Chain A
Amino acid sequence: DTAVSQTPKYLVTQMGNDKSIKCEQNLGHDTMYWYKQDSKKFLKIMFSYNNKELIINETVPNRFSPKSPDKAHLNLHINSLELGDSAVYFCASSHLGGGILANGYTFGSGTRLTVV
């Protein structure tokens, strides 16, 4: 059973389009995340949701809009895609106790977004 699953795995699209990436976890975790990995393999957090509530929104263009319909899902919608959005996007989940990440994240396998 896949613990954190993301779809699609690959996404090639033209500049200006709108696209969505879906993420689901079956671990019963209460917190989900979106991370962006650039071409230099640097992992940077974009958003974090705890029990469906947004708790971290890093300096991300407002073209990126996360949505968490329930604790098991966190989707990422991107409007007006730009060349610089090309990257690998990872969804992850964890359980937070008292706001402290005392255990590990579980990551999905990533969505490679290419904007042409």
Chain B
Amino acid sequence: DAKTTQPNSMESNEEEPVHLPCNHSTISGTDYIHWYRQLPSQGPEYVIHGLTSNVNNRMASLAIAEDRKSSTLILHRATLRDAAVYYCALAGAGSYQLTFGKGTKLSVIP
């Protein structure tokens, strides 16, 4: 299975944009890129996913590199409620599973 690599931690000031990177250099052509976030003492929560094109939803934007070997989750204005661990994950065709990275702990400074 393809692996993902993320920074262990990042900090952001409140109301500033946040760019969370993920490397997935061994991604295959049919792997979807997913992002989840986990608040303390809660289960992971789906944020966004994509295959090749950039994606936007009410929570975030996903920018996918042209070669698909990396992606960036963009939170447009960080709030204190966005402090969480953000996981990048890949879902391979026919693999019936998500393979998670180790996650980035995002701290938001008031």
User: Using a CB–CB distance below 8 Å, which chain A residues touch chain B?
Assistant: 4, 31, 33, 40-45, 48, 50, 55-56, 90, 92, 96, 99-110
Contact = CB atoms under 8 A, between A and B. Distances in A.
B93 A99 contact: yes
Contact of A105 (B41, B44, B94): B44
12 contacts: A31-B96, A40-B102, A43-B100, A50-B96, A102-B32, A105-B36, A105-B44, A105-B98, A106-B46, A107-B36, A107-B43, A110-B41
Given A101-B91, A104-B34, A45 B46 contact: no
Contacts of B98: 45, 101, 105
Interface residues of B, number: 24
B46 A48 contact: no
Interface string B46-66: 100100000000000000000
A108 B93 CA distance: 24
Interface of B: 30, 32, 34, 36, 38, 41-46, 49, 85, 87, 91, 93-94, 96-100, 102-103
Nearest to B97: A45
B30 A41 contact: no
Contact of B102 (A42, A101, A106, A108): A42
Given A104-B46, A108-B43, A109-B43, A43 B87 contact: yes
A65 to B, nearest CB: 19
Given A41-B103, A43-B44, A90-B44, A48 B93 contact: no
B69 to A, nearest CB: 20
